[in-house]
Structures are given as C-alpha cells and as structure tokens.
Amino acid sequence: MTGKNVKRVAVFISGRGSNLEALIAASKVRDCPYRIVAVLSDNSEADGLELAARGNIETFAIPRSDFGSRSEHEAAVLNALNAIEPDIVCLAGYMRLLSADFVGQWKGRILNIHPSLLPNLPGLETHKRALSLGMRIHGCTVHFVSEGMDDGPIIGQAAVVVRTDDDEDVLAARVLKAEHRLYPEMLRLVATDRIRMSSGGATIFDDASAPDCDDIVLISPVPLKR
Ligand code: GRF
C-alpha cells in the first residue's frame, strides 16, 4: 500500500476508547490501507484521548459545555474536521447525534459501530434488552451513518451467541470483543473502496458473491444432539 493510497481516518469518541484502540492497533499492521490521523472527543476526560496522545495521534477535545448551543458545538467539531481533512470519519462510542447538515457534508464517509445486530435494538442498553427478549444471537454492526440514530446502510455485522448463563456484563464483554474484530475489518473494506454508500444502501465492489462464513448456523438454548 503506497503512502498516497493510505486513507486518513479521524475517530470520534466520548469515553473508554477500546474500539479506537483496536483501530489504532490494526492500522499499525503492514500494508494497512488506513491510518488514524486524529481523535476528537466531546469529553475532555475521555480515556481514549490519552490513549491517542500516547500513540502520537493528534487529539481534539471539544466539550459541549464550552458552547451555548448544540449547533455552535457542532460547528466547532466541523471546523476541526475540515482542518484535519480526513478521508473517513469513524464514530467509536461518540455519544452525540450528528445533525442532518453535518451528515450531509460527510455523506458516505462516516462509519459507526453499534452493539447490536441492527436494525434490532438501536439506542442504549442493547445487551440488557437482548437478554430480556431471550435473543439467542446478538452482536454488533458497522454501518454508514445517515441522519437517524443507529441508522444507515449496513456494512458488516458480527454475530455473538447468547449463552443461557450470560448476564449483561458477560454478554457485553463478548460483544465488545467482536466489535474489536469487526470494526478494523469493515474500515478496511471502505478504505479500499470495496464497499461504498449509495442511494440504495451500500454497494459492494468485489468478486466474491458469498459472505465469508457458513450460510446457516443454528443457535439453540440446549444441545440439539442428544
Ligand atoms: C461500544 O460498545 C460501541 O459499540 C458503542 O459504544 C461503545 C464504545 O466503547 N457505540 P469504546 O469506547 O470503544 O470502548
């Protein structure tokens, strides 16, 4: 991968930054088609900012409380972003809904990771809700961002089996592990132009006609072979 083909990625975070960490780690592997050039946060205390600084990645703390209105805050974020000039923006636990105007300006270039198999369970407390619904499969989704919350064309998903003895924390940890595998891989697909956002959803540009997994997987709460 030559320098000019390597995509510049800005990551937006609000907290812990474990997905950021996974993206940074993946970007260090030889021939990775992207590099993380900046990390922006609406929370100056976000652990992920320290993590980025330790990796010599430029950081921008832009707290909402420094601004009188949501739109002024977003204008400051947009300004910073326009100065960074990334090719792709990755939301990784960024707890703010971007306005239609913001999304419009960066259309097809913003990705998000969400801890459920969308369109199931948008919003918060996804693990708790998956357990109380008795779902046997849960997981995470990387998607292009559109104006709605946890909405937009799906790029890829990781399925996670729900075990009968799972509690919320155990399930959350298993999904998070899946997130750390999924996000770098899906960003790679976007960075190498193998998938792009289009008016009909996401358009795939690749020779492969089948997903990289078995077509059917049965998930039962009890063993099927007795
Ligand atoms: C992840 O579960 C992600 O899916 C969601 O927010 C969480 C962020 O975790 N959008 P981290 O900050 O990446 O550790």
Q: What is the pLDDT of residues 167-218, one digit of tens each?
A: 999 999 999 999 999 999 999 999 999 999 998 788 888 766 667 788 888 8
Query: 60 with 135, same domain?
Result: no
**Residues 117, 92: one domain?**
no
| Pair (116, 221) in one structural domain | yes
pLDDT of res. 224:
86
Judge if the beta carbon of residue 139 lies within 6 A of ligand 1: no
* pLDDT at 15 exceeding the cut of 70: yes
Q: What is the extent of the structural domain holding 24?
A: 1-96
What is the model's pTM?
A: 0.95
| Tally of domains within the chain | 2
Same domain? 63 vs 164: no
Domain membership of residue 24 (yes or no) is yes
User: 66 with 85: CB under 8 angstroms?
Assistant: no
CATH number at residue 78: 3.40.50.170
* Contacts with 195 (C-beta within 8 Å, 6 or more apart), sequence order: 155, 189, 202, 203, 204, 205, 206
208 and 156 inside one domain: yes
The verdict on 119 and 148 lying in the same domain is: yes
181 occurs within a structural domain:
yes
- The answer as to whether 104 is a domain residue is no
Give the C-alpha separation, 14 to 41, whole Å: 5
Ligand 1 pocket check for 35: Cβ under 6 Å: no
pLDDT of 48 > 90? The answer is yes
Q: Does the beta carbon of 90 lie inside 6 Å of ligand 1?
A: no
Q: Within this chain, do residues 143 and 53 fall inside the same structural domain, yes or no? A: no
135 Cβ contact partners less than 8 Å away, ≥ 6 residues apart: 120, 162
In this structure, the answer to whether residues 117 and 91 fall within a common structural domain is no
Task: State which H helix or E strand residue 111 sits in.
Answer: strand 110-114
Domain membership of residue 199 (yes or no) is: yes
The best mutation among 12, 145, 176, 177 to test binding of ligand 1, ranked by most ligand atoms within 8 Å of the C-beta, falls on 176
Task: Find the 223 Cα to ligand 1 centroid distance in Å.
Answer: 32
Q: Ligand 1 pocket test: pick from 110, 179, 181, 183 the residue with the most ligand atoms within 8 Å of its Cβ.
A: 179
Closest C-alpha residue for ligand 1 atom 9: 93
47 or 2, higher pLDDT = 47
Residue nearest to atom 5 of ligand 1 (CA): 93
* 127 and 56 co-located in one domain: no
**127 among known catalytic residues:** no
User: Does the pLDDT of residue 73 top 70, yes or no?
Assistant: yes
On the CB side of 7, CA atoms within 13 Å amount to 20
Q: Which of 73, 114, 143, 180 is catalytic?
A: 114
